[in-house]
Structure 1
C-alpha cells in the first residue's frame, strides 16, 4: 500500500472512535483530511466538529459538517489528529502543518486523543523530524541562540517566495533540527517557559491515548 492509502485506512478506522450525537475535535494535515472525508459519511449522526485550523474548517464546511469555535465548547469526548512523530509512550512531535497551537488548544478540551498515522511516523526517540515552535517574531533571534545551547539548529520556516510562513495566529515558526528528545515532558515544559515561545511542538502533556497506525498488514492499535 502507498503512504496515502495507509493514511486513508487509518482515517476510516478513526470513525469507530467518534461518539454519535457528540462533537468531535478535528486536527490538521494530510492524514486528517482523509478522516474528514470519511466523517462526511456520518455527519448527520454527530453534533458537529471543533477544528484546529482554517484549512480543516474549510474542508469540514465543504462537506456540510457544522463547525463550532473552541471558545464555545467546554469539553470534547475525543480529539482526532495526526503526528509527525510518535514514540512508544504516545508522546508526539506535531506542527509540520503549522497548526500546533490550535491543535493543543483543542486537544486540551478532549477526554481522549486518538492519533492517526502511517507506520513511518513511529519512532523510538523523538527529534528526527524538525521540532516546530511557534514564536513571537521579536524573540526569534534569541530563541535560535537558546536552541543552539541545547545542541539544536533552529531556522525560520519560509514560504516558497522566501517570506516567513505565518500560522493561522499570525506568528512565525522555528523548525529545530538536531535534538534528541529523550524526556519529552521535561523538554516541553522547559521550552514552553521561554519568553517569546507561543507553543512548542512536543505533545507530551497532551500525549495520545491511543494510536491507529497504518501498516501494510492493516491498522494496528497502540494503547498508551
Structure 2
C-alpha cells in the first residue's frame, strides 16, 4: 500500500453516518473517495457527498455515493482533500489539479477541513510548488504582463500537447514560479484584488487536521481544533 492510499483510507474513518462530506480532488483524495465508496457499498454508510471537480463527481457516482451540489446543502460537516504544499505553520498551496476554485468554495462552507498528504508535501515555507492562480481567459495576457512586472514569474499552464489547460469553469491557470513566498497573507490580498483573477491557490488558516503518510505510518496533526 502506498503512502497516498494509506492516508486516504485513514481519512475516510473520519466520515460518519449522516454526514455531508466534501470530496476533494487529486491523486491522494482519489483513494479517500474509493474507501468511502467501499464503505457505502459494504457497510451501508449513509452520507451525502459534495464534490470539488467533475473528475471526483464521476468517480463518486460510479461508486454509488449520493451527491448534492454545494448550493443544495446548508453546510458541509467535513471536507477531505489533498494539498500540494503545507508549511510549518499549516498554510497551504492547492490547485495542482486545477480544481482550486471549487475546492476553496467547498472548504469555506465546511465545519472542518482535513488535508491528506504524503510527507513530501510538508515544507518549511510555501513557494517551491508553483502557486496556481485561476483567471478568466479575457484579459489573461494583461495579467501575465502585470505578474511579470511584479517579479512573480508567471507561466500559463498548458498540457502535454501544448494546449492551454482549462478548469471546470473554463478558466485558465497561471502558475507563479516563486521559489519562496515571504508573506503569504500579503500575496493573497494582492492576487484577490486583481481584476480578472477568479481565485488563487493560497489556502490560509483553513485546515483543522493534517494526516501525513510516512514510511513509518500515519501521523495526524491538529493545528486548529
What TM-score does the superposition give when structure 1 sets the normalisation length? 0.94
> Cα–Cα, structure 1 residues 152 and 174, in superposed 2: closer, same or farther, change >3 Å?
same
Aligned partner of 2:178 in structure 1 is 178
Following superposition, the deviation at residue 143 of structure 1 comes to 1.8
In structure 1, the residue corresponding to 2:139 is in which secondary structure? helix
Deviations 1:115-171 (A, max 9, x none): 000000001110000111110112222222332244221111112222211000011
Aligned partner of 2:122 in structure 1 is 122
- Between the aligned partners of 1:163 and 1:15, the Cα distance in structure 2 is 36
In structure 1, the residue corresponding to 2:29 is in which secondary structure? helix
- Structure 1 window deviating more from structure 2 (125-134 vs 10-19): it is 10-19
- Between the aligned partners of 2:190 and 2:123, the Cα distance in structure 1 is 22
- Between the aligned partners of 1:82 and 1:46, the Cα distance in structure 2 is 23
Which residue of the other structure, out of 8, 19, 27, is the alignment partner of 2:16?
Answer: 19
On the 8 A contact 2:131/2:178 being kept in 1, the answer is no
Unaligned runs of 5+ in 1: none
Following superposition, the deviation at residue 45 of structure 1 comes to 1.7
Aligned partner of 1:218 in structure 2 is 217
Aligned partner of 2:166 in structure 1 is 166
On the 8 A contact 1:90/1:209 being kept in 2, the answer is no
Following superposition, the deviation at residue 72 of structure 1 comes to 0.5
* 1:1-224 map, 5 Å: 5-43=2-40, 44-205=44-205, 207-224=206-223
Cα root mean square deviation, aligned: 1.4
- Structure 1 window deviating more from structure 2 (10-19 vs 211-220): it is 10-19
- Between the aligned partners of 1:80 and 1:208, the Cα distance in structure 2 is 10
Number of positions where the alignment pairs a residue of Structure 1 with one of Structure 2: 220
- Structure 1 window deviating more from structure 2 (143-152 vs 161-170): it is 143-152
Unaligned runs of 5+ in 2: none
- Between the aligned partners of 1:48 and 1:77, the Cα distance in structure 2 is 10
